[in-house]
Structure 1
Amino acid sequence: MNYKLIALDVDGTLLHDNHELSEENKDSIKAAVSLGAELVLCTGRGPVSTMPIMEKMGLSGYVITHNGAVTVDLKTQKVIDQFPMDAEGLQPYVDYCREHGIHFDVNTAFGLYIDKADQMTPKMRSMYDEVFLEPMNLPHWSELKEPVVKFSAFGDLETMNELEKEWNTWNSPFYMVRSGDFFLDLMHKDASKGEALRRLAASKGIARENVLAMGNYYNDITMLTFAGKGIAMDNSPVDVKAAADEVTLSNNEDGVHHALEKFVVGVK
């Protein structure tokens, strides 16, 4: 199969657990691109912490960010597609997090807002620094100059499991998805990695059978099932593996490299 669009999740897929990009993955991606494929990173991260990875690989094109809520053209650094949320509809979730001491952040395409940004703990500061983000103080909804596209709650595994169970009982107008063991995200009801990838492929005239996608977590399932070839990493939960067509090696074993060699680069 001639894959024209390759969609890669970032954390737990493209990068090792230490957040490093291996030379093996980088070289295989460049080889795939040289054969005519276009790479798009499809991640729960925002554009600010995703674009440097593309630049590190010397690639242009697009990044699908915030779990599909925002697609950005790297050349212009402009939003070309997004799913704005009803920000005021998030107030009950904000209230719940504040009442229960659960950390949360509110994301616009390029902005990140939290409570008391000037009082972050060193641990919290380190978490945001790791992905090149500088949180700002969350203002009143009416003062935000850009649409809200994602709301994220953070906590230990037990806290997030309980939070997901609780919020699943609410009559929510939002799409809720786990983007990691310690993260629970809310977005517009139509936003997902799969839908954003479908819309990008359609805009470029690329059929779904010519799309290959790789991911490792629940927020990747929609793009794995949309793509003509959906590949789960070996470090994926069993439900994610079940949704995929193939399973490759883990992210720490350069599963991206091995899958690209098997299905793209090594195909004659």
Structure 2
Amino acid sequence: MNYDLIALDIDGTLLTDGHVLTPVVREAVREAHRRGAEIVLCTGRGPVNALPVLDELGLAGTMITHNGAATVDSARREVLHQYSIDPAEIVRFREYCLRAGMHFDINTPFEMLIEGITPEAEEMYRLYGASPVLRDPSEPLPEGLVKFTLFGGIADLDRVEAEWNTWSHGLQHIRSGDYFIDVQHRDASKGTALRQLAQLRGIDQSRVMAIGNYFNDVGMLTFAGLGVAVANSPEAVKSAADVLTRSNEEDGVAHALQEFAWS
């Protein structure tokens, strides 16, 4: 086995566009685990809707969730590290979405809170296996927030992203998918969390492999000794990676593991 730690993005990478874990990919990931690599899901999802994917793989262990804002122990359902944001810092983003009539959710490490829902958002949550909880908008925002996520159409999010890029604020916003913008702590990223985990394990950077497909994966792709982008990645993500593999619709993770992890 060429790598001791293998970080895998979930959506658009490990899963097909239909959110399916194919048998070929499942077996390849399990084979990498059998050969001695620690498999770490490294995702923009929260722990609650990342856990079913880990269960489907038949694995357990540490997961990097919320784009690196919360690292959790899947077996104990325990937060190992989180980058919290002050509720006051997201008020501006929340009010913007309310004025624009755009759907958003507010996340602690293990909770996803919403203040309303549209049919489109309801279908999106179903596809991602998420079960948001309706909160009373008149209540104060909870402490321990790690992420604020805006959901909408591509053109709408392109416009929002361009506008938010002109704002001065202490957080970061990142496009985590065509239909999502995540707002979180400035220091939170998959790359930072993966670096912390590798150091904790005593694993050299050269022994880390990461596979991803989107802009929120760039940090982990550039940190890893081998960063692999699947073929369905945007060009900027491909440029950040060391090598390319097949798309998520063509069992790209399996091919990458077979070609680079134990060849």
For 1:183 and 1:138, the matched residues in 2 are separated by 21
What is the deviation of 1:56? 1.1
Spell out the pairing of 1:16-55 with structure 2 (5 A cutoff). 16-55=16-55
Q: Is the 8 A contact 1:88 1:141 kept in 2?
A: no
Measured after TM superposition, the shift of residue 124 of structure 1 is 2.2
Change (3 A) 1:80 1:153: same
C-alpha displacement of 1:44: 0.6
**CA deviation after TM superposition for structure 1 residue 143, in Å:** 5.5
The residue number in structure 1 matching 2:222 is 225
Give the SS at the match of 1:17. coil
- Residues 104-253 of structure 1 mapped to structure 2, 5 A cutoff: 104-116=104-116, 120-139=117-136, 142=140, 144=142, 146-253=143-250
Structure 2: how far apart are the matches of 1:132 and 1:253? 23
* Partner residue of 1:256 out of 244, 253, 256: 253
The answer as to whether partners of 1:214 and 1:232 remain within 8 angstroms in 2 is yes
**AA paired with 1:172?**
H
Contact 2:103 2:118 in 1 (8 A): no
Shift of 1:89: 1.1
TM-score, normalised to structure 1, is 0.94
The ranges of structure 1 where at least 4 consecutive aligned residues each deviate by more than 6 angstroms after the TM superposition are none
What secondary structure does 2:12 align onto? coil
Instruction: Report SS of the residue matched to 1:190.
Output: coil
2:57 corresponds to: 57
Q: Percent identity?
A: 48
Aligned-pair CA distance for 1:141: 6.7
Please give the alpha-carbon distance, in whole angstroms, between the structure 2 residues aligned to 1:129 and 1:97: 22
- Matched letter for residue 66 of structure 1: H
The code of the aligned residue for 1:65 comes to T
1:221-264 C-alpha deviation (Å, 9 max, x unpaired): 00000000000010000000000000000000001000000111
What per-residue deviation string (whole Å, max 9, x for no partner) do you get for residues 184-205 of structure 1?
1111010000001111111111
User: Which digits, 9 at most, give the CA deviation of each residue in 1:80-104, with x for residues without a partner?
Assistant: 0110011111101111111111111
Q: How many residues align?
A: 262
Shift of 1:60: 1.2
| Aligned amino acid, residue 210 of structure 1 | R
Structure 2, unmatched stretches of 5+, are none
Distance 1:248 1:67 in 2: 22
Alpha-carbon contact 1:153-1:183 (below 8 Å) kept? yes
Across the aligned residues of Structure 1 and Structure 2, the Cα RMSD in angstroms comes to 1.3
Q: Is the 8 A contact 1:13 1:255 kept in 2?
A: yes
**Aligned-partner Cα distance in 1 for 2:12–2:3:** 22
- The residue type equivalent to 2:204 in the other structure is A
The aligned amino acid for 1:147 is: G
Q: Which moves more between the two structures, 160-169 or 107-116?
A: 107-116
Structure 1, unpaired ranges of 5+: none
Q: Does the 8 A contact of 2:2 with 2:260 survive in 1?
A: no
Find the aligned partners of 1:127 and 1:96 in 2 and give their Cα distance: 21
The SS at the match of 1:80 is: strand
1:75 has 2:75 as partner: yes
* TM-score, normalization by structure 2: 0.96
CA distance in 1, matches of 2:2, 2:24: 22
